[in-house]
Amino acid sequence: MAKASTTKPVIGLAGGIGAGKSLVAGQLASLGCGVIDADALAREVLEQPQVQQTLRQWWGEQMIGPDGRVDRAALARRVFDDPEALTRLEGLIHPRVHARRQALREQMTADPQVKAIVEDCPLLFEAGIDRTCDATIFVDADRATRLARVAASRGWDEAELHRRESRQQPLDIKAASADYKVNNGSDEQHTLEQVRGILEQIMA
């Protein structure tokens, strides 16, 4: 657990795909926290004209959909099995996301209504963002539950879930690295009770 450079606790969220990080982030928001959603920031960056033009130059007009926005599915297909292309994309996107993240942290630090800052980031440990957090929470659910969720919400089968997870740090390592653990395998009320208790400990 590293000490963040703000006057309010910074809480990092990690967990497996389909574990329910977004649910926990929403619960923390309902308890007075400000949430920085890394996926949402990445989507915002992809709307920037300079970024869209760069993607066109690199990989062609097929990167832009009929609606004039980046075709995220086409982009994912382009980089997923090409480490060089993925590194190139990350070099374009990540600095812009980081700048936006820092601006949001400053805004939330200055906002008296925000009691703590939450980093909801799929690659919290992989990107080293955990080192800027005061505490980290691992959101857990068993594999069958997570598979059922991603099948319902994203249309993935078990092979696709495995393919995606293989690109991330193993879950047992993430869980061992976290300061707190939330089991999100049953009902939302049970999850909320855990989240409330953990937040109280962090704020204390």
pLDDT band at 5 (very low <50, low <70, confident <90, very high): very low
* 63 or 163, greater pLDDT: 63
pLDDT digits (tens, 9 = 90+) for 19-40: 999 999 999 999 999 999 999 9
Q: Per-residue pLDDT for 51 more than 70?
A: yes
Q: Per-residue pLDDT for 154 more than 70?
A: yes
Whether 115 and 6 have beta carbons less than 8 Å apart is answered as no
Whether 33 and 114 have beta carbons less than 8 Å apart is answered as yes
CA distance 161 to 44: 25
Residue ranges of domains in the chain, CATH in brackets: 10-203 (3.40.50.300)
**What is the arithmetic mean of pLDDT over 114-143?**
94
State the pLDDT at residue 164: 86
CA distance 119 to 138: 12
DSSP output for the chain: -PPPSSSS-EEEEEE-TTS-HHHHHHHHHHTTEEEEEHHHHHHHHHTSHHHHHHHHHHH-GGGB-TTSSB-HHHHHHHHHT-HHHHHHHHHHHHHHHHHHHHHHHHHHHH-TT--EEEEE-TTTTTTTGGGG-SEEEEEE--HHHHHHHHHHHH---HHHHHHHHTTS--HHHHHHH-SEEEE-SS-HHHHHHHHHHHHHHHH-
The alpha carbon dihedral of 51, 42, 91, 4 has a sign of: positive
Residue 117, strand partner residues: 10, 34
Q: Name residue 25's amino acid.
A: A
CA distance 59 to 5: 39
| Phi and psi angles of residue 124, each rounded to the nearest 5 degrees, phi first | -55, -50
| Phi and psi angles of residue 196, each rounded to the nearest 5 degrees, phi first | -60, -45
Q: Per-residue pLDDT for 7 more than 90?
A: no
CA distance 164 to 166: 5
pTM, 2 dp: 0.88
Six token digits for residue 102: 């820092």
pLDDT digits (tens, 9 = 90+) for 102-118: 999 999 999 999 999 99
